[in-house]
A and B are shown apart, each in its own frame.
Chain A
Amino acid sequence: MTSTRPAAAAQAEAGAPAIVAARERLWHAIGEGDEYAAVEVVFAALDDGVPAESALLDLIAPVQHRVGVEWAANRLSVAAEHAASAINDRVIGTLAHHPRARAEPARGRVTVACVDGEWHALPARLLAEVLRLRGWRVDFLGAQVPSPHLVAHLHKTAPDVVALSSSIATRLPMAHAAITACQAAGTPVLVGGAAFGPDGRYARALGADAWAPDARAAADRLAQGLRRAAGLAAHQPVDDLPHLADQEYTMVSRTRSELVKEVLTVLAGRFPGMRSYTDAQRRHTAEDIAHVVEFLATALYVDDAELFTGFIAWTAEILAVRHVPAVSLTHSLHILGGRLADFPRATAMLTQALSALPEAGEDA
């Protein structure tokens, strides 16, 4: 297996009719919950000459991506998403036994893990398999790895590099702790996943040694070698993010439950209709507000208003798909703005997010 191929060739493969057709068959098999059929689709592609890396990244990965898209569009239940991921995971595990997927360790050792609180292990699993195919000795630690476990693993195995995955932006503070911990243990960190922003801006903000937009780019970047940063033992999170000194993140994240309660109370006063909410509706509303507060805290952590505005715009779209009026969202932001008036960064972020939403209408 060649380690690097021109991007054009990879793209040609990704768009090859054989792979497009296989993707459709895999999507169908996973929709049926038929693991056996799913494995057959992937094995047939390998037997037809599709390289193992391409089977992982051009066949399985796009199908998994589609699962997420379908869920966001409310065409797939959360549970079905879990089922699809579980089947894809098993397929990847079985793929490793195919003769075309054999690889001799010829490079260094790498640890692949998801940050604590990150449950979407599949992107990291795909990267782990790609790296194994490219000759790395890979330790895959799986989903939600607490930093103490990760560091203990580093001391035990002394890998050349750690690859950390995080898909949810609200895990960025956790990711930062994990990055800092790995570097303090003398190991450079490559990060990837949607949490770090489409251009990897949060990877830079959090002091990661490298960022990659996808598994292929990550494998290419690791092939170039990542130097161990010296003398980061005394490194503190606030060294990367001096704005944390204003304590806005700490205050918002520490009082998040109180903030959610206050917003709910005020909302209930403004919308008498909320009293007739079912338990499930009440729960959803509380969860939505908790998310808003969590994203606000995260935006304060990385000091990026875009992160919060982007989340609010996305939430408005999801609510629209689920036929929930966005008016409660607008009110929630106003109420939060009132509570956090003493925090200039939070206030600016709430103002910017509000300007991205349509004005609160009368249809509450």
Chain B
Amino acid sequence: MPDGNVPFERRVVRPASREPMHVETSEYVYDGSRTTRPAPGTTWADAPCPALRADAAGAVVDVNAAAGALLPTARPRAPLADAVPAWLADAHRRFVTATRPTDGERRFGMVRGELAGRSFEARPTPAAAGEVVWWLVDDTELRLAEKALRTEQERTAFLAEASSTLLTSLNVDRCMEVTAELAARHLADAAVVVAPAARRHYPVAYAGPGGVVRRRSVHADPAAVPGLSEALQGFPPVPSRWIDPSLLPEWAVPEGLSQPVGSVVVTPLPGHGVPAGAVVLLRRDDHRAFDESEEVFARLFAARAGAALSAARLYAEQASITDTLMRDLLPPSLHQVNGVEFAGGYRASGAAERAGGDFYDVHPGEGPGEESLVVLGDVCGKGLDAAVLTGKIRNTVQALLPMAGDHQRVLDLLNGALVNSHHTRFATMVLASVRRSAGRVRLRLTSAGHPAPLIVRADGGVEEADTRGSLVGVLPRVTSRTVTADLAAGETCLLFTDGITEARGGPLGDELFGDGRLKSALAECAGLPAEAVVERIQMLASEWVGDRRHDDMAVVAITAPRTTHLSAVDGHTRGRFTA
């Protein structure tokens, strides 16, 4: 930040006097106060501390050797205004006009100012006849050290703040904004963060003097900014003094700078092995130019910002890859299809996971009279490995849709595909073919080693579909029995995985949720819309496990709508729900 202080020059002023210390000349003996003790062994004349005696009228009475070397015009009887800088002459006037200064005022009387390019403390002591002796103490080194310490403390505090702020977000845009904002607030009047190009467009974040951050995408040649294309490639920064601010293109200067740019620093943002972008620092021409230590410090900041940006970019890339790969593994969202309500709910075993070994799909029939095929299943195992296999099964079932009229055939073909694959895992599943017919919903249900579907009737009675079959992917042949069932308005068929019934918990902590609890929960769901049934069952099972470990849990409700005109308010168009 520019400030009003002019830095002290590091110039060594050697004391002029090298006289022996024991020489005593009476005219030089300090006799400021007759009531004080006699003068100590050393003398006024050759004291290493410059001293000056002035009278109440403001004229020099005497100077010692050190002061004489420092103030060549301070001859006896010279007016102070000619002999010493104004700050000292003013202080003298204030001191002699003060009546009977107290101790406090005497200390206050200590003033500080510059003399011959160095910083001095001037301490007054009253002498005889209203005269004052001014003792000049050179504190240049102390002041420089203090200033350096303050700068370092500010910089350390800033770096700590920058690090913790930069570390909060793994979002690339947010990181760029934060970098620009911090740089504009602490290092310059304005800052521009340029990220590596995506298809020849450079994402750019601007921060102006007001702390306002803007982002936009710039289609431009970075070479137009001296040093920028080098910085974007990670080459060392070009020294500020080599950059002519007047050559900056318009896009490289944020709005809101009230003065032309006076100095520019371009610093690369080093990432994890690859450049994460560059930051351009700008200062107005009426403010101090960047000095070398500021450029070095900007690089320290840039190292932190670059690491944060790079981490955010890596995270975004990984998250995007994961999203793409997971898209087909996530449970689909279900809607009403051909006059039948479908709703599904899924909870993966790990809180951080979104997919697991349970799966479901609804493949809508071609038209209102056609069957839709619902598949719900469970691959042995949990986590991503299991999820990958569910993806294969879901794809295979999709390919087998033309055979969906014969569940046994679908299971045979699927079994063949799984037995011959290199996976050692197996799966259980339920197939449900669903068709609306004359105000009712007709189901064909087949279980392959899976818990049988439950049907809740309008009166609250709960039935278990009498279908049984062997699991898929182990033996060369699978057997199964398909049953049919009809749903009247308000009745629901529930497909579920054993993650629900085998959920362990409850008030005592170690009980199974169990078939009985599931059935009595379902009995309360007569007449409910499909979403409400799924929500109710999911909620009860989730509350049952609480924060304990659990398996993947999946449920699908197939419901015959209670009101015939429900399809009229169906806001969704039918389509492929397996995404």
Distance to closest chain A CB from B180 (angstroms): 14
Q: Indicate whether A86 sits within 8 Å of B507 (C-beta atoms), given known contacts A35-B563, A155-B319, A157-B171.
A: no
Which residues of the partner chain B approach A77 to less than 8 Å between Cβ atoms? Answer: 524
**Which of B127-135, B363-371, B478-486, B532-540 lies on the face that meets chain A?**
B532-540
Q: Does A322 contact B (CB under 8 A)?
A: no
What is the 8 Å Cβ interface bit string for chain B, positions 516-557, against chain A (1 contact, 0 not)?
Answer: 000000001111110111011001001100000000000000
Q: Does B315 contact A (CB under 8 A)?
A: yes
Which residues of the partner chain A approach B539 to less than 8 Å between Cβ atoms? Answer: 119
**Which of B255-263, B377-385, B565-573 lies on the face that meets chain A?**
B565-573
Distance to closest chain B CB from A326 (angstroms): 19
Distance to closest chain A CB from B324 (angstroms): 13
B542 touches A82 (CB 8 A): no
Q: Does B153 contact A (CB under 8 A)?
A: no
- Of B171, B506, B508, B529, which one neighbours A87 at CB under 8 angstroms? B529
Q: Indicate whether A144 sits within 8 Å of B542 (C-beta atoms), given known contacts A79-B525, A86-B528.
A: yes
Q: Does B510 contact A (CB under 8 A)?
A: yes
Per the CB 8 Å criterion, the residue count for chain B at the interface is 45
Which residues of the partner chain B approach A79 to less than 8 Å between Cβ atoms? Answer: 524-526, 528, 532, 536
B164 touches A85 (CB 8 A): no
Q: Does A78 contact B (CB under 8 A)?
A: yes
A82 touches B161 (CB 8 A): no
Which residues of the partner chain B approach A39 to less than 8 Å between Cβ atoms? Answer: 569
Q: Does B351 contact A (CB under 8 A)?
A: yes
Which residues of the partner chain A approach B533 to less than 8 Å between Cβ atoms? Answer: 82
Which residues of the partner chain B approach A94 to less than 8 Å between Cβ atoms? Answer: 569, 571
Distance to closest chain B CB from A130 (angstroms): 20
- Of A82, A119, A146, A185, which one neighbours B528 at CB under 8 angstroms? A82
- Of B161, B165, B490, B563, which one neighbours A186 at CB under 8 angstroms? B165
B569 touches A35 (CB 8 A): yes
Q: Which of A283-336 contact B (CB under 8 A)?
A: 283, 286-287, 289-290
- Of A85, A155, A156, A286, which one neighbours B506 at CB under 8 angstroms? A286
Query: Which of B319, B507, B539 has most A Cβ within 10 Å?
Result: B507
Q: Does B354 contact A (CB under 8 A)?
A: yes
Q: Which of A70-129 contact B (CB under 8 A)?
A: 77-79, 82-83, 85-87, 89-90, 93-94, 97, 116-117, 119
Which residues of the partner chain B approach A149 to less than 8 Å between Cβ atoms? Answer: 351-352, 354
A36 touches B563 (CB 8 A): yes
Which residues of the partner chain B approach A97 to less than 8 Å between Cβ atoms? Answer: 571
B509 touches A257 (CB 8 A): yes
Which residues of the partner chain B approach A157 to less than 8 Å between Cβ atoms? Answer: 171
A158 touches B529 (CB 8 A): no
What is the 8 Å Cβ interface bit string for chain B, positions 166-179, against chain A (1 contact, 0 not)?
Answer: 01111101100010
B528 touches A158 (CB 8 A): no
Which residues of the partner chain A approach B536 to less than 8 Å between Cβ atoms? Answer: 78-79, 82
Which residues of the partner chain B approach A232 to less than 8 Å between Cβ atoms? Answer: 168
Residue of A nearest to B168 (CB): A186
Q: Which of A132-184 contact B (CB under 8 A)?
A: 143-144, 146-149, 152, 154-158, 184
Which residues of the partner chain A approach B164 to less than 8 Å between Cβ atoms? Answer: 230-231, 233-234
**A119, B543: Cα distance in complex, Å:** 10
Q: Does A222 contact B (CB under 8 A)?
A: no
**A82, B533: Cα distance in complex, Å:** 8
**A184, B525: Cα distance in complex, Å:** 41
B174 touches A83 (CB 8 A): no
**A236, B164: Cα distance in complex, Å:** 14
Per the CB 8 Å criterion, the residue count for chain A at the interface is 52
Distance to closest chain B CB from A24 (angstroms): 20
- Of A82, A87, A155, which one neighbours B170 at CB under 8 angstroms? A155
Q: Which of B165-200 contact A (CB under 8 A)?
A: 165, 167-171, 173-174, 178
Q: How many A-B residue pairs have CB under 8 A?
A: 128
Q: Does B562 contact A (CB under 8 A)?
A: yes
Distance to closest chain A CB from B364 (angstroms): 19
Which residues of the partner chain B approach A90 to less than 8 Å between Cβ atoms? Answer: 529, 531, 569
B170 touches A257 (CB 8 A): no
Distance to closest chain A CB from B213 (angstroms): 12
B532 touches A287 (CB 8 A): no
Q: Indicate whether A286 sits within 8 Å of B566 (C-beta atoms), given known contacts A35-B529, A85-B532.
A: no
Query: Which of B167, B490, B565, B569 has most A Cβ within 10 Å?
Result: B569
B565 touches A36 (CB 8 A): yes
B351 touches A286 (CB 8 A): no
Which residues of the partner chain A approach B529 to less than 8 Å between Cβ atoms? Answer: 33, 35, 83, 86-87, 90
Q: Indicate whether A156 sits within 8 Å of B171 (C-beta atoms), given known contacts A35-B563, A93-B571.
A: yes
Q: Indicate whether A286 sits within 8 Å of B319 (C-beta atoms), given known contacts A33-B527, A36-B566, A89-B531.
A: no
Q: Does A260 contact B (CB under 8 A)?
A: yes
Q: Does A221 contact B (CB under 8 A)?
A: no
Which residues of the partner chain B approach A146 to less than 8 Å between Cβ atoms? Answer: 351-352
Residue of A nearest to B172 (CB): A158
**A157, B170: Cα distance in complex, Å:** 10
**A272, B526: Cα distance in complex, Å:** 36
Q: Does A239 contact B (CB under 8 A)?
A: no
**A78, B566: Cα distance in complex, Å:** 23
Which residues of the partner chain B approach A287 to less than 8 Å between Cβ atoms? Answer: 507
A289 touches B171 (CB 8 A): no
Residue of B nearest to A232 (CB): B168
Q: Does A25 contact B (CB under 8 A)?
A: no
Which residues of the partner chain A approach B354 to less than 8 Å between Cβ atoms? Answer: 149
**A97, B529: Cα distance in complex, Å:** 21
Which residues of the partner chain B approach A185 to less than 8 Å between Cβ atoms? Answer: 168-170
Q: Does A256 contact B (CB under 8 A)?
A: yes
Q: Does A34 contact B (CB under 8 A)?
A: yes
Distance to closest chain A CB from B457 (angstroms): 14
- Of B161, B169, B170, B542, which one neighbours A117 at CB under 8 angstroms? B542
A158 touches B174 (CB 8 A): yes
Q: Does A339 contact B (CB under 8 A)?
A: no
Q: Does A261 contact B (CB under 8 A)?
A: yes
What is the 8 Å Cβ interface bit string for chain A, positions 229-262, against chain B (1 contact, 0 not)?
Answer: 0111110000000000000000000001110110
Residue of B nearest to A80 (CB): B528
Residue of B nearest to A144 (CB): B542
A186 touches B174 (CB 8 A): yes
Which residues of the partner chain B approach A155 to less than 8 Å between Cβ atoms? Answer: 169-171, 312, 315-316, 319
**A149, B506: Cα distance in complex, Å:** 25
Residue of A nearest to B539 (CB): A119
Q: Which of B306-354 contact A (CB under 8 A)?
A: 312, 315-316, 319, 351-352, 354
**A39, B569: Cα distance in complex, Å:** 8
Distance to closest chain B CB from A280 (angstroms): 8
A119 touches B535 (CB 8 A): yes
Residue of B nearest to A258 (CB): B509
Distance to closest chain A CB from B532 (angstroms): 4
**A283, B521: Cα distance in complex, Å:** 13
**A34, B527: Cα distance in complex, Å:** 11
A116 touches B507 (CB 8 A): no
Distance to closest chain A CB from B504 (angstroms): 11
14 other contacts beyond A119-B542, A290-B506, with CB at 8 A cut-off?
A: A33-B529, A36-B569, A77-B524, A79-B532, A94-B569, A97-B571, A117-B542, A148-B352, A156-B319, A185-B168, A231-B164, A233-B165, A260-B509, A286-B508
Considering the complex of A and B, which 10 residue pairs feature the smallest CB-CB distances, nearest first?
A: A257-B509, A186-B168, A290-B507, A158-B171, A148-B352, A86-B532, A286-B507, A155-B170, A79-B524, A146-B351
A-B CB contact pairs (8 Å), 30 listed: A33-B490, A33-B527, A33-B562, A33-B563, A34-B563, A35-B529, A35-B563, A36-B563, A36-B565, A36-B569, A79-B525, A82-B528, A83-B527, A90-B529, A117-B542, A119-B535, A148-B351, A154-B169, A155-B319, A157-B171, A158-B173, A186-B174, A186-B178, A230-B161, A233-B164, A233-B168, A257-B507, A257-B509, A260-B507, A286-B506
Q: Chain B: residues with CB nearer than 8 A to chain A?
A: 161, 164-165, 167-171, 173-174, 178, 312, 315-316, 319, 351-352, 354, 490, 506-510, 524-529, 531-533, 535-536, 539, 542-543, 562-563, 565-566, 568-569, 571
